[in-house]
Each structure stands twice: as structure tokens, then as C-alpha cells.
Structure 1
Amino acid sequence: MLPARQFELLNRVAALHHRSLPTYLTYARPWVRTGSEAKAAIIDDMAIDHHDLVQRILRVLEADDRPVSLGDFPMEYTDLNDLSLDFILQELTHYERRLLKTLEEIASWMDRDQPPYLLVNMAIGLAMGHLENLAEANGDSPAMTA
């Protein structure tokens, strides 16, 4: 059984990814100009990564037989409905930077001897990879993503 604080932190990471902006955008797709399908695929790839991470986390959380709460999508995501893909990719970059910062903070509070720490580090690695992909799609140099 995980210590209560570790369980809460891991639940928070699951909620952040389950109700993430990339996941929301799989339901409310941005407008995609012909020829920009590869850029749009970045959103789907991010959402798939988030979904897979949530599934891994839920297996750990549900083994503790405690209630898990994943919450709802933030209402401010609806402000992005029907906007262009290029604008959305910029917003995703800002979102992913904030997510990375939050994950690094959560990792600093985690017990490094517990499996949840490895899952949070996996989430950090995914966020860093997503930022690299977004930088490439936005025509930015990798140094600009740091």
C-alpha cells in the first residue's frame, strides 16, 4: 500500500493527464488546413501518451483499493474551440511547459524509493519529448523549448 501522500500525488498526476489539453482536443478538434495533417497528428500522439500514462498510473492506484478522482476538463479549454491549428500548437507549448514544471515539483515531493516516482519521471520525459515535437512543428529551435 502506498503512503497517503504518495497516493495523492500520483492521483494528481493521473488527473492532470486524463483531463489534459491534448486529451480535450481529441474531442474538440482544431481546424486543420490541408497539408497540416502531420502537425495535427502531434495532438493525437500527445493524447495517446497521456492516455497510456494514465492507464499505468491507474493500475498502481487501483491496487491500493482507494477511491481515485480524475476530475473534469477545465472550462477554459472551451475558449480554444474552433481556433486554428497553429494557434493551438502555441497554446499546447505553453500548456506543456506548465505541466512539466508541475511534474518536476511533484517529483521533488515524492519518495524516490517508491514506484510512483518512476511513473512521475516517465511523465516528465514525455512532457520533454512533447515540447521537442511542438518546437519542431512550430519551427522553433530546441533551445527555445527550455
Structure 2
Amino acid sequence: DGSVESSVHATHTRLASLLEHEHTPLVRALRCSGMPAGSPLFSALLNYRHNTLSAEDSDAPAGIQSLGGQERSNYPLVLSVEDYGIALGLTVHIAQPGNPDRVCGYMQQVLESLVNALDCTPDQPVQQLKWLPDTEREQ
């Protein structure tokens, strides 16, 4: 509830209060969760990564060449937001039959709506933000 600006501040405050638990072992988190043993604690992962835009492998020592790489995860859904300081990138890894393009479309719409509201109408109620892309809303 509340305005876009107050919702962003409240979210920031809640997330900042969790930082003291950032390095808590997963075993302890699972024990405190009340989940039955053997149950997965998470079914999705959200990464927010601070990165820099740089020339490909410019920091590699002489004679070292990157042949490529691919991320792997055991989570059915992994959404990574790459923060380059001047631009954001989105990467989604999703188990079949999920559609990563659709998930990226949702996230892009959310981020654009939030940024536009913070820039132009920060007092707008957060419930009035446009969360679905037009094509999805029409469907």
C-alpha cells in the first residue's frame, strides 16, 4: 500500500535489515524455516548483480583466452538483473515448458513502469502501476 516512492523506500528498508543474515548457512535457514527435511527451501532465485561494461576479456592475463561459459542452476527459475551503472540487462533461465522471453517481458514492463513512476509521478499509488505488457493484457 502507499505511493510508488514510499513503497520503494519501505522495500529498501526491509531488504537492508536482512543484510545481517546474508552469510547465514543454508542449512540453518532451512532449519529455521519450518520446512520438512528434504523439501527445497526455494523454487526461484533472483540475482541482482553489479557489473561493468568492458571489452571482452580485457582483464585476462596474457595467454589466457575465454572459450565461453554458461550458467547452471538447480532452481526451476533464475532471474538475473545485470546492473551496468548506465544500463540494465535481464537474463532468465527457466525449466521447460516455461518461456524465458515472457518472463523477461514481465520484468521489463515492471522496471519501466516503476522507473517512469519514480521519475514522473512518485506519489502515484503503487497499485496503479502497469505490470503487464499490452500484448499480455490484450490476450
The TM-score normalised by the length of structure 1 is: 0.25
- Report which of the two has the higher share of strand: 2
- Report which of the two has the higher share of helix: 1
Larger radius of gyration: 2
The TM-score normalised by the length of structure 2 is: 0.26
